[in-house]
Amino acid sequence: MQPSSSPADKTRSAHQRLTELYGTQAIQGYSDPMHELVGTILSHRTTHANEVTAYRTMRDRFPSWEEVRDAPLPDLINAIQAANYPEVKAPYIQNLLRHLFQETGAANLDFLGKLSTEEAMNWLMALPGIGLKTATIVLLFKFHKPVLPVDTHVHRVTQRLGLIGPKVSAEKAHTLLLSYLPLDSLVLFNFHKHFYWHGQRVCTWYYPKCSECVLRDICDFYQSGGTALLSSTPTRKKPLNA
Ligand code: SF4
């Protein structure tokens, strides 16, 4: 890859290398869009295993969404306590459900599949507590809409590589990265998954395993000695090559 390559060329090149590394996956998520929506709220700053435990406990104790909506708040907080910040997430979930029942008469998101991507995004993001990341996960994973979830791992890896600038927010990264990629839901799903996995396994928060990384020769962060200050990453505790 030439140093003068455009961000779009570099994005596609990095994606191709990670596709060779991790393989192409079929689009998959939870079986129910409501599970995807509420699971994404539970997953915030929480491991996948704890998100799954919190969701299962909640549905065991409150099998219908009406019961989740109407549960005494302390009981719902207790049910989802495997997730971090249950006292914040429980009111979010109940508020979201009240809004859904008021707007549509049910906790059912299937109608989103019939809306355009823009209409579905706008509808979801008008819900209380639903931001860009959650909306894009639901729409890509469940409805195969061509959007790109940028979570903390995708944000960090793409920023270290230099696909987006050092101060670009995750929200802005969504628009920028999307403009570099084909509007193809399978490509976007794999881009999200591959950068997510790479951030979890190789390009980790404080001590990225650059010696094992297939992107090292095109990575701005590595080439600069790992000293760049990036909006996606807190200050590291020791230099990259220590
Ligand atoms: S070379 Fe290092 S900093 Fe760059 S993407 Fe790979 S692991 Fe991350």
Regarding whether 14 and 65 lie in a shared domain, the answer is no
User: Which residue ranges have their beta carbon within 6 Å of ligand 1?
Assistant: 157, 160-161, 202-203, 208-210, 213, 215-216, 219, 221-222
Convert the pLDDT of each residue in 147-168 to its tens digit.
999 999 999 999 999 999 999 9
Residue 217 identity: D
pLDDT at 53: 97
pLDDT at 242: 40
Helix then strand count (H, E) for the chain reads 12, 0
Instruction: List Cα–Cα distances, 158 to 49, 164, 184, 221, in angstroms.
Output: 26, 6, 19, 10
| Domain limit, last residue, from 143, 161, 186 | 143
Regarding whether 197 and 166 lie in a shared domain, the answer is yes
Write out the two tokens for 108.
Answer: 């059912």
pLDDT at 235: 65
Regarding whether 37 and 90 lie in a shared domain, the answer is yes
Identify whether 229 is part of a domain: no
Regarding whether 65 and 118 lie in a shared domain, the answer is yes
**Residue owning the nearest CA to atom 8 of ligand 1:** 203
HEC secondary structure over 196-224: HHHHHHCCCCCCCCHHHCCCHHHCHHHHC
- Residue segments in the chain with a per-residue pLDDT below the cut of 50: 241-242
Give every CB contact of residue 70 below 8 A, 6+ residues apart in sequence.
none
- Cite the DSSP H helix spans in 44-116: 48-61, 65-70, 73-79, 86-104
pTM of the predicted protein model: 0.88
Regarding whether 131 and 205 lie in a shared domain, the answer is no
Convert the pLDDT of each residue in 120-132 to its tens digit.
999 999 988 899 9
C-alpha closest to that of 198 among 133, 154, 136:
154
Identify whether 97 is part of a domain: yes
Identify whether 237 is part of a domain: no
Identify whether 233 is part of a domain: no
Identify whether 241 is part of a domain: no
Domain assignment of residue 107, given as a range: 33-143
pLDDT at 148: 97
Identify whether 231 is part of a domain: no
Q: Which atom number of ligand 1 is nearest to the Cα of residue 219?
A: 4
Could you give the 3-state DSSP secondary structure of residue 230? coil
Q: Which atom number of ligand 1 is nearest to the Cα of residue 202?
A: 7
Q: What is the distance between the alpha carbons of residues 42 and 49, in angstroms, rounded to a whole number?
A: 11
Write out the two tokens for 83.
Answer: 């997730």
Task: From 221, 223, 232, 240, give the residue whose CB has the most ligand 1 atoms within 8 Å, as the site to mutate.
Answer: 221
Task: From 17, 206, 217, 219, give the residue whose CB has the most ligand 1 atoms within 8 Å, as the site to mutate.
Answer: 219
Domain containing 127 — which CATH number? 1.10.340.30
Number of domains observed in the structure of the chain:
2
Regarding whether 196 and 112 lie in a shared domain, the answer is no
